[in-house]
Amino acid sequence: MTTPIRGVLPNKLRYIIVPQKDSLTATVAVLVTAGSKYETKDINGLSHFLEHMCFKGTKKRPRPIDIASELDGMGARYNAFTGHEYTSYYAKVRSTLFLEALDVVSDLYLHPTFNKEDIEIERGVIIEEINMYEDNYPRKVEELFFELVYGDQPAGWSIAGTKENVRRLSREDFISYREKNYLPESTIVVIAGNVNVKRAEKELKKHFSLLEGGQKMEKKKVLELQKKSAERVYVKEFKQAHFMLGVRAFGAKDERRFALEVLSEVLGGGMSSRLFKKVRDELGAAYYIYSNTDLFSDHGLFTVSAGVDNKKVDIVVKAILAEMKLLKQKLVSRAELEKAKEHLIGGIFLNAETSDSLGYFYGGQEIMGMPLSSPDALAKKIKSVTAKEIREVARTVFQNNHLNLALIGPFKNRSFLDILKI
């Protein structure tokens, strides 16, 4: 697999070019350390709102239709997303059009105009997006889980923000926030696919060299305050309950992450995982159930998510906790360990086949301040994980005083704290 080319411009903007000579496509992506954790409560949701506004017009392409029509005319797949720690803009095109895609993506990132009329229109769009998330219960329960675990601090706030904030944010707020966050030292440009490396370097330098630096807004360190198990029950009358059960873990740079990821594969990483077999195949209690590691720059979570029959919530939660307890007590067998490792490694390599996935594979590492590791290097780390390391990390993170349950369902005046025990 091709080695990525990493460079830094004089203004401290970083770039990564990942050549894929056999690829039919190319992806241009810009990542910036500006997410909901960089917000204060009165501007919560601004990172996400700003992301929307970058598609609404630039000096060169003054109308939203100008941007959309040009990208559609390339046959591009394009979008943007905002997370807790960074925002990203991207376009994926057939490889012969990567320079045209770079021109558009760089323009909307560098030169948004924040037209007041467009801001007013987009308020309604984002409020409807928030309404949509309210009715998307697997997503809604994740938001409730973060609120439960982190409370009233940026890590616990909604990325989309509140409707009140969305209605109130002004053009001046966008300009001020952008000046403090969309800086060259906070920005990474990734180009991946079948591209001419020298041409790609020349063009990205032309577009991004003039981006001016400034004083970066700092994000507050996440406070870990939990001393006992906790729950959040969101009462909703329907037949299926959705829940997220989880514990605090550690940050993305912690070397124990490889053991935790393999543990996650064993517990709920596929159709042959312990939880899938127990909860779906044996109990017939859920359609979806899976475990996940969500590791950030200075904190992390290990969670299990499921949608289950209302009448079987207790039995499913108890089954999950029993499997967690078992991982603390007994070593994973050699056969199960190897299967979990291969499933995890296979996912990494399958994802690395496409230009967009490979670009974000390296861009994600860079934005988190980690050294760039190839799929082969990560596979080596995963293969080295032992059964004892899995048991040790289970004993570290599966603690009664760190258990959290967020639940949506028809459970008025009902608590589940009595069963939150490992």
What are the b/e assignments for 70-79, b being 16+ CB within 10 Å? Answer: bbeebebebe
- CB–CB of 191/19 below 8 Å? no
Question: Cα–Cα distance between 326 and 339 in angstroms, integer?
Answer: 18
Question: Cα–Cα distance between 98 and 24 in angstroms, integer?
Answer: 11
Tokens found for residue 34: 């500006």
Question: Cα–Cα distance between 298 and 219 in angstroms, integer?
Answer: 11
Sign of CA pseudo-dihedral 90, 93, 98, 101: negative
Sign of CA pseudo-dihedral 325, 380, 187, 133: negative
H or E stretch at 66: helix 64-73
Q: Which residues are the active-site residues?
A: 51
Sheet containing 77-82: order of strands: 5-8, 14-19, 187-193, 25-32, 87-94, 77-82
Distance between start and end Cα atoms, the chain: 43
Neighbours of 219 (CB within 10 A): 20
Q: Residue 354, SS3?
A: coil
Question: Cα–Cα distance between 77 and 356 in angstroms, integer?
Answer: 10
